[in-house]
Amino acid sequence: MTADLAQTLHTDRSRQMARLTLSIVPPLIGAGFLMLWIFAETGRAGLVEKIISFVLLSITIGISGVLPRIALCLVVLTPLGQFAGVIPAPESTTWPSYLAVMIVGFFVGMRRDAVRWPYAVGAGCLAILLAALNMVFPHSFWPPSTGEVAPAVAGFPLSPAYGWVSWIGQGGIFSPVGVRQAAWMVILVFGQLLLLAFAGCTLYLISWAAGQATSLRGVERAVEWTWAQLGRAGDDLRREQERAAIARDVHDTLAHSLAVVVAQAEGGIAAAASDDSASKRALAVIADVSREALIDCRSLVERIQVETGVERQQPTTTDVPALVERMCGLGMTVRYQILGGQQPLPPSRHLTFYRIVQESLTNALKHGGTKSEVTVTADWRGSGLALLVASRGAEINNETGGGAGIAGMRERARLAGGWLSAGPGDDGDFVVTAYLPFAQYSDRERETVDV
């Protein structure tokens, strides 16, 4: 129990740490991102305008762990505002700020339970495409101070002197701009656009997949812990079932043996004054029954203490006649009838049949005394073994639901795939009816059985 509690506490701490990580780490990274860019751009022109973009991207990073959907909206709206000219577009020194999109993708990937992958992937790739457009078409800071007129295609300026191609050192080769150079500029600029979009989307998908993998690892740990808990619960359940089985065996063995001992002792006391031989026979029966009970109890104790690997042979349906003969020796009237030929039956059901007959005869002896009349009928003619035990005697216990004996018999029959009922019959007898199928019932068949 201590190990289970320690494991549970460890798992709870792991989950709390995961939630804490998504609540604290993104804001810290967002704050560091903002401070880094402010420090990097200090002393350059337009710092105040650039801070707007830095702040928006920092906020996006900060809320990506706890509000991933809003973070994806902001990560799209920021480059969209830059493309529309509402927010200053990136320059040759600030375009790496778009790495914030990859950071957001990682934390959104960790929140796989909150954002579905089409939304996460689609929003991230759209943000990358808008960022690529801002880098290739730097319209927000055209025209240059020289007064040049920017050539344009479909309304987009195509001056390589002020775009991505200029940032990577390829802008001067097209000046002055002619018709042929303009065509090459279109090819170059749109090629750069596709290349940037492809590279950015690839990096975003890698970061998002890394977040997913991190989250899945946490799920795997939770699943492993769950399986471990189920294994422990299964072990506990098996131990409880073993204890219940031992309790049933103890009850069936000792209750029967003690009932026989009590009956013989009372009979011996009554006969001692007039017939010494009767008292001797009673004492012999008591000794035999007590010896068998002692052997059974010893085997049960061995089952509790250690697995010896050697099991005592359990009684079967073929041992019922000997049980009936023993009860008749006590003075009871017991008739045993077999209808049909014996069919193959699993060992567990053999034992169940024997124990039900034993408990029924013990109850008859306990409540009706040695003058009880019992009829035991075993019917093999159907799809299973049917049992009918009718007891008649003085003050037969007509209790149908209480008592460990009847409850134990019901449980044995249920575990064997059958059923059992016990209660008073129409003619005043106490009747025990049981059914043990040769094959297992299906769930639907079991529901239709009228116990």
Give mean pLDDT, residues 95-102: 91
Q: What's the pTM?
A: 0.46
How does 87-116 read in b/e, with b if 16+ C-beta sit within 10 Å?
bbbbbeebbebbebbbbbbbbbbbbbeebe
- Count of structural domains within the chain: 2
> Residue 358 CB: number of other CB atoms within 10 A?
20
313 lies in some domain? no
245 lies in some domain? no
Give mean pLDDT, residues 105-109: 89
Give mean pLDDT, residues 327-341: 88
Pairwise CA distance, residues 249 & 358, whole Å: 11
CA distances from 5 to 75, 113, 225, 396 (A): 43, 27, 12, 51
DSSP, residue by residue, 78-106:
HHHHHHTTSSPPP-TTTGGGGHHHHHHHH
Q: Of 36-40, 45-49, 159-163, 297-301, which gets the smallest average pLDDT?
A: 159-163
> Residue 303 CB: number of other CB atoms within 10 A?
16
73 lies in some domain? yes
Q: Of 52-66, 150-164, 229-243, which gets the smallest average pLDDT?
A: 150-164
Q: Of 79-83, 102-106, 208-212, 282-286, which gets the smallest average pLDDT?
A: 282-286
pLDDT at position 103, please?
Answer: 93
Whether residue 164 sits in one domain with residue 40: yes
269 lies in some domain? no
Which pairing describes strands 333-339 and 373-379: parallel, antiparallel, or unpaired? parallel
322 lies in some domain? yes
Phi–psi pair at 376, nearest 5 degrees? -110, 125
Whether residue 167 sits in one domain with residue 27: yes
223 lies in some domain? yes
Pairwise CA distance, residues 331 & 180, whole Å: 124
What are the structure tokens assigned to 231, written together? Answer: 């294994």
pLDDT at position 42, please?
Answer: 84
DSSP state of 151: P
Which of 202, 232, 262 is the C-terminal boundary of a domain? 232
CA distances from 441 to 268, 279, 352, 432 (A): 48, 50, 16, 21
Whether residue 132 sits in one domain with residue 21: yes
DSSP state of 150: P
265 lies in some domain? no
Percent of the chain at pLDDT > 70 equals 63
pLDDT band at 284 (very low <50, low <70, confident <90, very high): low
pLDDT at position 382, please?
Answer: 87
Which of 232, 261, 284 is the C-terminal boundary of a domain? 232
Pairwise CA distance, residues 328 & 9, whole Å: 62
* Cα end-to-end distance, the chain, whole Å: 40
Which of 204, 232, 260 is the C-terminal boundary of a domain? 232
Give mean pLDDT, residues 70-82: 92
pLDDT at position 195, please?
Answer: 87
Mapping DSSP to helix (H, G, I), strand (E, B) and coil, where does residue 203 land? helix
Whether residue 80 sits in one domain with residue 205: yes
* Residue 152: partners with Cβ closer than 8 Å, 6 or more residues away: 158
15 lies in some domain? yes
Whether residue 343 sits in one domain with residue 227: no
Pairwise CA distance, residues 255 & 7, whole Å: 43
Whether residue 341 sits in one domain with residue 227: no
Of 446, 304, 429, 331, the residue nearest 376 (C-alpha): 429
Mean pLDDT in the chain? 75
Would you say residue 300 has pLDDT above 50?
A: yes
DSSP state of 384: E
Give mean pLDDT, residues 213-230: 73
CA distances from 136 to 83, 91, 139, 141, 170 (A): 11, 11, 9, 12, 13
Whether residue 322 sits in one domain with residue 213: no
Pairwise CA distance, residues 188 & 174, whole Å: 11
Can you give the CATH number for the domain in which 402 is found?
A: 3.30.565.10
The residue range of the domain holding 153 is 2-232
How does 262-280 read in b/e, with b if 16+ C-beta sit within 10 Å?
ebbeebbeebeeeeeeebe
Cα-only R_g, the chain: 44
* Angle value at C-alpha 410, between 333 and 348, nearest 5 degrees: 85
Bigger pLDDT: 305 or 349?
Answer: 349
Whether residue 338 sits in one domain with residue 213: no
| Interval 121-171: pLDDT, tens | 999 999 999 998 888 875 544 444 444 444 444 444 444 444 565 565 555
58, 15 Cβ separation under 8 angstroms: no
What are the structure tokens assigned to 280, written together? Answer: 């001797």
Whether residue 94 sits in one domain with residue 217: yes
DSSP state of 370: G
Pairwise CA distance, residues 397 & 366, whole Å: 9
Q: Side chain identity at 270, as an amino acid letter? A: A
What are the structure tokens assigned to 372, written together? Answer: 């009880």
